[in-house]
Structure 1
């Protein structure tokens, strides 16, 4: 035992105006009660202890802290009576302190050691208290005691304080709950006690309030407190380590994966009380119910090293993971380098990484495997099966943590699908949430199923199209050029073979080859002609030439050279068509990337729905209006902002695609078109197509116009309205473009658009007449530099 006066607070706290002192009298009174009622052999012990206390003629007014060392024998006797009889003092964290003061003066060696080695920093398990917190907790403890003793009122229960101490043997933290025993403290009032409203007091104290009010109603100077407080520290390291894993699960944020797992590993090391044991968590994630790689290391990362994509192909990982999780087995070896383990090939890579002791524990959640926990040491350390036993209480918490990771992985996949492949965008998500909830509500109440009805009324539509000029013509020309080149090679090959190995079949094939060349040269290649020609090349000539090479081995080099060219042609990695596809892909990727970035910026102007889709170029539909964002007041200037963006974005895209020209194997130009519809329409979500479409006869006409105007001509001419290096705006009424004209002038002043604005009338289309257009050129950086 140690008799050292020590302040436990660790911080400077203000003193309380409290008449409190050390006294043995409450303990003596308790001894007398026990002697009267005790029937066992303890009665003799208590009588001897009481006799010793009575020889000291103790003062009723208390003992000064500075004189406590004079009463060492009495302190020893009190410890003997209150501690478990057969417990070693080195195993018990027990101490005495002054009533409601953070000062101990007598205790076990273990208690003092823990206090000397404790941590007061912001460890994840322990909430650090400042001076105000400490003072508030003292008041809570004091008034709870006073109210219970003098008013028989039970205040809301306080959780015990948790203290962290360094284990000198392992260097790891250990955690102890402080239990405070006030059975040997007495309080008396120095005057009349005021009446209290206990119903209101309990409510306020439950909320952590009320103690400051009690300072006024029940001032501390009203009380006299005497006795000794008993402190017990209970090891709660295991409970705190598991609580920490649960806390991380509940409070984790996906963007702090590494930090989250670092705390989990720290907790597991604390649980097994060994800093040399390492851990790794490997969650079991699936896509379409097939195992796939995860992308977060939960510890040392050895399982990712052994099973990850750097070493195992996706197919092999899938096979191994399905095999393991169909029958998940526990594995443990204290030394994987031992002669017994050397024969197990699956441990080879663990050995290469320097692992010595290894345990692989399948982790479950609701009886479903969710991952693997690896426990291991490096070559200079080892562990035995006792460590596995220590981990068992944490396995359920680890399972719940891995399930959260799996859920987040699945949500992330769903989010990507929702963003990239469906029409459910953030601006309209709220409407889908409402309808989904109503559907779920009706289903749970067994009500009749209602069709999903998601619609937005009175929204302004905005349509734009970036088209690759003459893409169909250019594609046909490229196909003809490639086929003609191939037929020329085939014809040359067949003629050479006919000279060396004349046959009627070769002569017929030469004839067909010439006829196909005539068709290509006449520009009369119909839609199904390409398939017929490819059939001739692959199903007639190729088998025959292969047969000929077998019959006449000396012809094989010539035939092989032709077949090699044919294979390249079939794989579409050379030729005019390939060059065209590469150029088109360059344009579409650049335009798509631009719109992907811009659609995020659009939401900052006003929540709107924006959907783009691929044709030979890229088209988009945008809808804006009050019904899409009921919480955001809609004004006409929001629509004007979007229209300015339309013009600016089309100019930007024209510049982007123009800058790509030097990189294109086949030079292609883009045209930019905007259709102006100055009236609101209604749209609804079509579940079958997973996209929004217009509603009603009038609104359908808007959709019909969009599909017919891409190749419209200027009235009384053969000139196509859309032209490279130009932006066109198609409209019906002069008022429709009132918003756009100032924007055009503004962009001309900024040298974004040319000063060549044209007002044009357009040809009548089927069911459409009176169309008009504005056409204006785009200024490129090169022309500015000139």
Structure 2
């Protein structure tokens, strides 16, 4: 077998001892007789076998000339050091080792029969190019530094991985160009410098087998398990979302096993919550806390004895428990952490504080199922590791704080993506000013010349529906207690019972005839202050216990009143808001792809939305009025779809409520700015404030000369003030009538003057409905109600 078989390389490999023998030729002329005699003997051994100088690639020759090779290499592989040094002789880019020290042989033997020696960090795909760079250095004198640390990973008898660093000595090698080797020019070299990954170019300049490698390399190998383990810990801790990585903790265990030389070692973590004085579990795949066991959290004082508490939390120093069972027997129940370890079958442990100058952040827990293998002596190995763990925890805490802040921003005070770029720009300017030592001021965020759009789908008669639900609940509650007092007066004749019955009847009559805003509060106070104490007395009557229990069971624990019809009403409002807001959000995603614009919505008794569109928001010179008209048409169409969607799901709501939709058209562009105190955009200037006044009051406005509200169930109302707006929206309505979104009953009405606002008009048109998404028929509101009730 040839050592070049199945290898594509610019180097034709030949094992040769020529360079080493040349060294012995010099030593043969030494004045030291012993050195000269030894060198002569080695040269004589080689002279009988010319192939040892000339080179060979037949692997069988290594076996045939094993004795002679051993003589030639005897100084390189000293018998005195053979059991201490880890050393091999081999050829490059090949796992073929033809001479090695006793210690290396022992390490490989312990690793097992199925172990295959493989160099780590040696990129297989780059071997050809690495060989070319070696040729450039050897033959052309270029100094290309491609040195990377190469390693062996070899397990010991316990399966613990050890890391061995390889240092190559290439003093006894020579590289000779063959006849087919192209001459490398400066131009070639310059081209190769910028084309490391272009394998075809390298093969063009260095064709396969165009150079001959003659010689061998000596590998000096060192056990760097501790250093590599620390490096691996550092590498493992770099990067984000490690807690989601399923392999992270298993890899972390393996690294610590190599560092301590313990094959059953495990690592756990606990977070220190200083504000609450508790330890908390770290949430992540495969992460455990041996201090907490199965608990999610526990008080620090309840998890540690006073000595260990002071050691970790106050002094920020590690401590070890070398024999858990022995300490358990000694401490009895006075050391909670020892009890926790004992219950989990742990025999020895190290607890180390993860702390910085601000104090304790958490604890790293290293445990083993064997006694004494973890102790105060090998705990010192953590000294080199802890800075990286502290740094990672600091970064993790910072990331978590940023994530929490981001979630708060998103869920509570979100900045819409369309304007985020302006906030980002101002934040960068703020940081730049601060960095340059200037007074950092977060400048006003404002957008000029933008067009507003406003719409709402409002629940009709929500106040009346709420009052009705309240009256029904209070009536049920009063009748229930009235019934109890009537039964009590039959058993125990007390005038106070008659007084309560009289008072209850007064309240019941008031609920039916003149329910007022404060009626609910008055009745609640009456029940709490007078009725409930009386019921406690009546509870002594056995025959009434069941009735009183039933009454109190009907009272809601959270609001402390009978909350049946009001709950149905509140649940209905919540469901309407949720479903309508969700539909609007989905539709908005599509609208944003048409042209970016600012959007916000609010849940009240229904759902309102604001939109702003214009050049200053989009950051680019791309705005055209066509995008405004498109958004207005989109808004009108979506309002029709929301109406449809609402009435299709209305039957599933606890209370049947109606909705009315309205769009406000504002013809002139305006300015908006972000109000830092309220964390929202608002219009700028006195003239623009007129828009906000109309927005707040228009849905309650009446048609001129009537007591009829402009908004009406089953219809969309489009409020405007300019004739051109009227013409524009009549075109949209005509288009949507052709699509069967809207009916043909278009009416134009004038509105009563609002405070400081005159001349408003409204177009009103009925929505056409479908019974379901599959239904292709069109219904007016009245037709739909008949169909639903049929």
Q: TM-score, normalised by structure 1?
A: 0.79
Alignment partner, residue 54 of structure 2 = 62
**CA distance in structure 2 between the partners assigned to 1:265 and 1:754 by the alignment:** 67
Alignment partner, residue 768 of structure 1 = 758
Give the conservation status (yes or no) of the 8 Å contact 1:93–1:234: yes
Alignment partner, residue 457 of structure 1 = 448
Per-residue deviation, residues 720-753 of structure 1 (Å, max 9, x unmatched): 33233433332233543666666655655555x2
Give the conservation status (yes or no) of the 8 Å contact 2:319–2:350: yes
* Superposition pairs of residues 397-412 of structure 1, within 5 angstroms: 397-412=388-403
Per-residue deviation, residues 216-237 of structure 1 (Å, max 9, x unmatched): 9999999887544212233344
Alignment partner, residue 180 of structure 1 = 168
What is the Cα deviation at residue 772 of structure 1? Answer: 1.9
Alignment partner, residue 700 of structure 2 = 711
Alignment partner, residue 94 of structure 1 = 87
- Gap change, CA 1:290 and 1:762, over 3 Å in 2: farther
Give the conservation status (yes or no) of the 8 Å contact 2:322–2:348: yes
Query: Which sits farther off after the overlay, 740-749 or 435-444?
Result: 740-749
- Gap change, CA 1:750 and 1:504, over 3 Å in 2: same
Q: CA RMSD in A?
A: 4.8
- Gap change, CA 1:476 and 1:190, over 3 Å in 2: closer
What is the Cα deviation at residue 707 of structure 1? Answer: 0.7
Does 1:428 pair with 2:422? no
* Secondary structure of 1:584's aligned partner: helix
What is the Cα deviation at residue 630 of structure 1? Answer: 1.7
What is the Cα deviation at residue 701 of structure 1? Answer: 1.6
Q: Which of 79, 82, 85 is the equivalent residue of 2:76?
A: 82
Alignment partner, residue 615 of structure 1 = 604
Give the conservation status (yes or no) of the 8 Å contact 2:271–2:280: no
**CA distance in structure 2 between the partners assigned to 1:681 and 1:637 by the alignment:** 18
Alignment partner, residue 565 of structure 2 = 576
Give the conservation status (yes or no) of the 8 Å contact 2:448–2:616: yes
- Gap change, CA 1:164 and 1:413, over 3 Å in 2: same
Alignment partner, residue 132 of structure 2 = 139
What is the Cα deviation at residue 777 of structure 1? Answer: 1.1
Does 1:250 pair with 2:238? yes
Q: TM-score, normalised by structure 2?
A: 0.79
**CA distance in structure 1 between the partners assigned to 2:679 and 2:732 by the alignment:** 35
Give the conservation status (yes or no) of the 8 Å contact 1:307–1:317: no
**CA distance in structure 2 between the partners assigned to 1:345 and 1:255 by the alignment:** 28
- Gap change, CA 1:599 and 1:94, over 3 Å in 2: farther
Per-residue deviation, residues 159-202 of structure 1 (Å, max 9, x unmatched): 2333444x2634454433321112334578999x999879x979
Does 1:482 pair with 2:476? no
Alignment partner, residue 534 of structure 1 = 524
- Gap change, CA 1:268 and 1:254, over 3 Å in 2: closer
Structure 2: any 5+ residue segments left out of the alignment? 778-786
Give the conservation status (yes or no) of the 8 Å contact 2:121–2:149: no
Per-residue deviation, residues 449-487 of structure 1 (Å, max 9, x unmatched): 535311122233222212221111222232233334444
**CA distance in structure 2 between the partners assigned to 1:224 and 1:288 by the alignment:** 72
Give the conservation status (yes or no) of the 8 Å contact 1:285–1:406: no
* Secondary structure of 1:180's aligned partner: strand
Does 1:51 pair with 2:40? yes
Give the conservation status (yes or no) of the 8 Å contact 1:727–1:776: yes
Aligned pairs, how many? 753
Structure 1: any 5+ residue segments left out of the alignment? 38-42
- Gap change, CA 1:397 and 1:780, over 3 Å in 2: same
Alignment partner, residue 782 of structure 2 = none
Does 1:239 pair with 2:227? yes
Query: Which sits farther off after the overlay, 729-738 or 765-774?
Result: 729-738
Alignment partner, residue 672 of structure 1 = 661
**CA distance in structure 2 between the partners assigned to 1:117 and 1:28 by the alignment:** 40
What is the Cα deviation at residue 584 of structure 1? Answer: 1.5
Give the conservation status (yes or no) of the 8 Å contact 1:291–1:322: no
- Gap change, CA 1:346 and 1:592, over 3 Å in 2: farther
* Superposition pairs of residues 437-476 of structure 1, within 5 angstroms: 437-450=428-441, 452-476=443-467
Q: Which of 146, 152, 157 is the equivalent residue of 1:169?
A: 157
Give the conservation status (yes or no) of the 8 Å contact 2:271–2:281: no
**CA distance in structure 1 between the partners assigned to 2:593 and 2:277 by the alignment:** 38
**CA distance in structure 2 between the partners assigned to 1:442 and 1:732 by the alignment:** 46
* Secondary structure of 2:388's aligned partner: helix
Alignment partner, residue 16 of structure 1 = 10
**CA distance in structure 1 between the partners assigned to 2:95 and 2:655 by the alignment:** 84
Give the conservation status (yes or no) of the 8 Å contact 2:262–2:373: no
Per-residue deviation, residues 1-31 of structure 1 (Å, max 9, x unmatched): xxxx996x9x943243669661344464378
**CA distance in structure 1 between the partners assigned to 2:401 and 2:64 by the alignment:** 69
Give the conservation status (yes or no) of the 8 Å contact 1:418–1:425: no
Give the conservation status (yes or no) of the 8 Å contact 2:89–2:218: yes
**CA distance in structure 2 between the partners assigned to 1:632 and 1:513 by the alignment:** 71
- Gap change, CA 1:232 and 1:19, over 3 Å in 2: closer
